[in-house]
Amino acid sequence: MAAVREVLRRPLGHFTERSLAGLALVLGAGVGFGVLLVLVRSQWAPLYDVDHGVAAWLNAQISPHGPLVTVLNAITDLGGRSVILWLVSVAVVGLLIRRQGRLAVYLLVTGAGALILDPTLKALVDRLRPEVEVRIGSYAGESFPSGHALGAMVAYGALLLVFLPAMSRRWRKPAIVLTATVVALIGFSRVALGVHFVSDVLGAWLLGAAWLGVTAYAFRLWRLERGRPAVPLKEGLEPEAARDVAPAPDEDRLLPHPRAGVAELIIGWVLVLGVLYGFGMFVSYHADGTFFATLDTAVPNWFDAQRTPAGDEVSHWWSKAGDTHAILLVSLIFCPLVLAVWRRWRPVLFVALTMFGELSLFLASSGTVDRPRPPIENLDGPMPTSSFPSGHIAATLCLWLAIAIIVFPRTDRWWRWVFVGLAVVMPVGVAISRMYRGMHHPTDFMGAILLTACWVGLLYWVIRPNADLAEGNRPTIESEDVHTLDDELVKAGRAD
């Protein structure tokens, strides 16, 4: 018993020594926020003058410059609730897959605290937003504290503490600087867009720092209770989990010959564009009297005759499955899961290049062919791009085919066939919806198939997304064990 007490006493002493300065900073942030809260609530005149003066001056400087406003809106979106929730959710799921439940709980508790503190304090203070001459930012609700600034401070700070051990020591300081820069830019963007006062952002930073500090020290005490030594925060929350929180620790080289691969992809992209251009020009302007012309006339007219209010509604939502937002959302969910489960960057690169190539080939071929939409009512109205090829269909085809190519050989579970089915059903559904809505000819669908087959085939040949399986690295999900992954992932999930 005495030996156990001595084992606990030593790390507790180290924890106390290392924590005094940190606790002082946390208390200082909390006190600073309290003082600022009182000043804002009492509408202290000097602070009031500074806040309104800075808001008016920044609005006059920034509002005339449209490109600058666009950049600031892009920066401020990094602190938006949708981005923050996506980052934290993906990180939590990845940590749970890697058997790092304590770190996942830390992220959940820390994030939930910020979600509770923001609306609670806004309702308590009930401060109005700035009134600027030219409104350039959108907002809702009360002003103090800034939810974007608070969420960015807490979320990016917590993610940094969790994943810091996965970085080599030479990259840790740049990562800290980068995180601080992103948080600072998000806070500045809120003031520059005229949706928050300076004190709103400062209050959010102080509150976020205090809450982040409290949760970090609570986690360190949790470590002590488990018999693990206290470590400085510059080492991250759980240094022992460095391998498990690293995105792809089992992959030494991304591509064996990257320069040759880049050259092959560039040449292949040009050739695929040539094929699309040739086919697109033929079916658009030189196919009179052929089967393609008959098909492009008969099918749109048939769909036009079948339209009903219910069909219009269903086709609208099914068509949405192929738009940019849906495709991006699925990609942003799938790629982190690939890293978490299979610990390989190459499949992620395969998906990323698939979607980038699809978008660039679609834009290039659409601009050069410049085909008009079918001569029936276009239910989606005027579009910025031409008809050939269908971007919705091509994006859906490329995404779900790439996902099926990655998932199918990595497991022998029955549900791998679900992804094969999705690679067929999703594009067909989107294609029918787009043609029903009068947005594409059947040969536009053929053009999307041609784009997908050529580009995905080229990428599969160059990238080899499943090369690790042929090399003996098989972190597959096997049917013999329905509760765990394979032996490799189970071993990786055990605590060191």
pTM for the structure as a whole: 0.77
Q: Given this model, what pLDDT does residue 25 score?
A: 65
**Whole-number pLDDT of residue 17:** 46
Residue with tokens 């939810």: 147
Prior bond to 145 cis, omega within 30? yes
Which among 24, 87, 88 has a CA at the least distance from the CA of 217?
A: 24
pLDDT one digit per residue (tens) for the chain, 496 residues: 444 344 344 444 444 444 445 556 666 667 777 777 777 777 788 877 887 888 888 888 887 777 888 888 888 888 888 889 888 998 898 888 888 888 888 898 888 888 888 888 888 887 778 877 777 766 777 778 888 898 999 999 999 988 888 888 888 888 889 999 999 999 988 888 888 888 889 888 888 888 888 888 888 777 777 767 767 777 777 777 778 777 777 776 777 778 888 999 999 999 999 999 999 999 999 988 899 999 999 999 999 888 999 999 999 999 998 888 899 889 988 988 888 888 888 899 999 999 999 999 999 999 999 999 998 988 888 888 888 999 999 999 999 999 999 999 888 888 889 999 999 999 999 999 999 999 999 999 999 999 999 999 999 999 999 887 876 655 445 444 434 444 444 444 444 4
State the pLDDT at residue 129.
80
The pLDDT score that the predictor gives to residue 199 is: 87
Amino acid making up residue 435: M
User: How many Cα atoms sit within 13 Å of 57 on the Cβ side?
Assistant: 8
Amino acid at 165: P
Please write the tens of the pLDDT for every residue from 403-455: 999 999 888 888 889 999 999 999 999 999 999 999 999 999 999 999 999 99
Question: How far is the C-alpha of 486 from the C-alpha of 413, rounded, in Å?
Answer: 12
pLDDT of residue 474: 53
CB contact at 8 A, 400 and 423: yes
22-42 pLDDT, tens digit per residue, is 556 666 667 777 777 777 777
Q: Are 184 and 129 in contact (CB under 8 A)?
A: no
The per-residue pLDDT for 471 is 65
Predicted pLDDT at 131: 78
**Computed over its alpha carbons, how large is the radius of gyration of the chain?**
27
By C-alpha distance, which of 73, 301, 308 is closest to 190? Answer: 73
Dist. CA 277–CA 280, nearest whole Å: 5
To the nearest 10 degrees (0 to 180), the angle between helices 169-192 and 147-163 is: 170
Number of H-type helices and E-type strands within the chain: 19, 0
